[in-house]
Amino acid sequence: MLKNIGKFIFMIELGLKYIQIFKKTFFHPFITLKPAYEQLSHERQEYSKKVLDFLNIKVNVIGNIPKEDKVLYSINHRSLLDIIVMEEVFSRTGKNGAWIAKQELFDSKIYGKFFEYSGCISVDLDNKRGLLTFFKTIKKTFSKVDNMNLFMFPEGERFSGDGVTTFQSGAAKIAKANKLKIVPVIIEGKNEKVFENAPYKEEYVVTVHIGEIISYENLEEEYRAFYNKSIKV
């Protein structure tokens, strides 16, 4: 119980500190879109590495992040750790990009500003006008940031069952509309429990599998094939 309280106090205090760091970049009057996304990506990665260090979690990567950009990373979603783990992975190659997140996360009084100021892109799935604005934002961003990438959970929300649940249609539509290649990523294990039990006295390893480029036409089918091959179902 005490270590859980300590964990959340650490993450909240660090998160508040980084909101102020993000704000300096987010509201900078002279910074353009490309260097802003590069800086915010770096800041998110530094935040994530500090959290993992505190939790004593190491990330083992199987596969390689591609050198090319304008890629949509399609990632399974199991826990609060997922974004933090992936930011550490992206930090290894200095990969620049933005997370796509539901509008309700931006509306949260607890962590809404963290998502907003760190460069995440909101989408309101229940609002046609909101969806139109979202797709315009994505298109504009890619036209101005040539080393941009998107990070997304195509399942739409955390899934606690075995394997992969049904994908929402958003990932394929975004990839098609912006001519993005898709890289499947699997975070192994049911990491909600991993997060609950952290921090660890002995180092805990989370394994991430990175696949080859797949097509948006058969995204869910090809992702499941990669999952079954990687997890050896």
Q: Quote the pLDDT of residue 100.
A: 95
Domain count of the fold of the chain: 1
> What token pair was written down for 111?
């962590």
| β-bridge pairing 204-210 and 181-187 | antiparallel
Q: State pLDDT tens for residues 153-212.
A: 999 888 887 888 999 888 999 999 999 999 999 999 877 889 889 999 999 999 999 999
Q: Quote the pLDDT of residue 164.
A: 87
Q: Quote the pLDDT of residue 130.
A: 78
pLDDT band, very low/low/confident/very high, at 80 (cuts 50, 70, 90): confident
Check: CB of residue 210 under 8 Å from CB of residue 62.
yes
Distance CA 122, CA 99 (A): 9
Q: Quote the pLDDT of residue 96.
A: 95
CATH of the domain at 221: 3.40.1130
Q: Quote the pLDDT of residue 192.
A: 83
| β-bridge pairing 150-152 and 71-75 | parallel
Residue 83 CA, chain-centre distance (Å), reads 4
Q: Quote the pLDDT of residue 132.
A: 86
Check: CB of residue 149 under 8 Å from CB of residue 185.
no
Query: Range of 147's domain?
Result: 2-231
Looking at per-residue pLDDT, the higher value among 2 and 169 belongs to: 169
**Positive or negative: CA dihedral 131, 133, 134, 138:** positive
